[in-house]
């Protein structure tokens, strides 16, 4: 019954309102600092759109990162059409983010096509390349396709806090608590040439996973937290 309710329009509205309220409390009571701000600032000052990437387990980063550190004119999040994805999308909209429906499993091709057009128009996009269901901290190729077709660099980011709990979910999501200290880490942009061949794409794929995991570990280390390990590589 609860699942059915949370799949309804009313259930999604109530759940997203509760989540948004909690997020606002956490964000307003946490002391934040950022590592790597110049990487984002240079793109912003140049009017260059970018694709922001972060592991699904640090999904909560996007709202605060956008509010404090990204001066992008508009930013869209690619969201799953699954129930949890719809609640997440409704929450993001409450904070002024745009949402494009589609995931790597359902509606992915259409969502990717719309996202390419969005970024080509000069806007920013955000993707969890291991979402919506893993494997954890293993990037799917869609984000590289987006960067290659749109001409926008990928900006790897992560966050951590001194107060919070790592859930026992597939993505080991960090649920931050209020009244802590938080750190954002922004890594160097990763360019994906339009004419990149198979070997180059494979190299960039590995570089992206390395950069995202390095950002996460840097953020966790700054907060005295142990980082989760990536899932075993798929065959």
Mean pLDDT of 169-197: 95
Residues 30-33: contacts with CB under 8 Å, at least 24 apart: 30/161, 30/163, 30/176, 30/178, 30/179, 30/180, 30/181, 30/182, 31/180, 31/181, 31/182, 32/64, 32/68, 32/181, 32/182, 32/183, 32/184, 33/181, 33/182, 33/183, 33/184
Structure tokens at 31: 């002391």
d(CA 224, CA 63): 23
Burial profile 25-61: b = 16 or more Cβ within 10 angstroms, e = fewer: ebbeebebebebeebbeebbeeeebbbbbbbbbbbbb
Confidence of residue 235 (pLDDT cuts 50, 70, 90): low
Q: The tokens 């107060």 sit on which residue? A: 163
DSSP class of residue 57? G
The phi and psi torsions of 72 (rounded to 5 degrees) equal -60, 140
Confidence of residue 61 (pLDDT cuts 50, 70, 90): low
Structure tokens at 130: 């291991």
Confidence of residue 213 (pLDDT cuts 50, 70, 90): very high
* pLDDT on residue 107: 45
Q: The whole model's pTM is what?
A: 0.90
* Residues 85 and 100 sit within 8 Å (Cβ to Cβ): no
d(CA 78, CA 9): 20
* pLDDT on residue 101: 77
More confident position, 88 or 225: 225
Mean pLDDT of 143-156: 96
| Ordered domains of the chain (ranges, CATH) | 2-222 (3.40.1130.10)
d(CA 7, CA 207): 38
N- to C-terminal Cα separation, the chain: 38
* pLDDT on residue 5: 59
Mean pLDDT of 9-22: 88
Evaluate the CA torsion angle 61, 63, 69, 74 in order and state its sign. positive
* Residues 153 and 189 sit within 8 Å (Cβ to Cβ): yes
H-type alpha helices, the chain: 2-6, 9-29, 37-45, 61-69, 83-94, 108-120, 142-150, 198-222
Q: The tokens 């987006």 sit on which residue? A: 146
Q: The tokens 């950022």 sit on which residue? A: 34
């Amino acid at each position: 019954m609860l699942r059915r309710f949370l799949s309804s329009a009313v259930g999604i509205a109530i759940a997203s309102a509760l989540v948004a309220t909690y997020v606002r409390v956490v964000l307003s009571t946490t002391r934040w600092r950022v590592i790597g701000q110049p990487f984002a600032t240079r793109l912003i000052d140049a009017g260059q759109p970018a694709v922001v990437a972060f592991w699904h387990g640090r999904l909560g980063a996007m709202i605060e990162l956008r509010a404090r550190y990204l001066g992008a004119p508009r930013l869209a999040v690619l969201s799953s059409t699954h129930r949890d994805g719809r609640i997440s999308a409704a929450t993001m909209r409450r904070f002024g983010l745009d949402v494009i429906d589609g995931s790597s499993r359902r509606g992915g091709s259409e969502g990717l096509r719309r996202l390419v057009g969005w970024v080509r128009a000069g806007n920013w996009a955000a993707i969890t390349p291991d979402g919506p269901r893993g494997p954890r901290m293993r990037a799917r190729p869609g984000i590289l396709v987006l960067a290659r077709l749109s001409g926008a660099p990928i900006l790897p980011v992560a966050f951590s806090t001194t107060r919070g709990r790592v859930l026992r979910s597939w993505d080991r999501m960090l649920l931050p608590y209020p009244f802590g200290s938080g750190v954002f880490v922004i890594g160097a942009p990763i360019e994906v040439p339009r004419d990149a061949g198979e070997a180059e794409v494979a190299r960039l794929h590995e570089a992206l996973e390395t950069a995202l995991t390095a950002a996460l570990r840097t953020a966790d280390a700054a907060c005295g937290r142990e980082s989760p390990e990536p899932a075993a590589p798929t065959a």
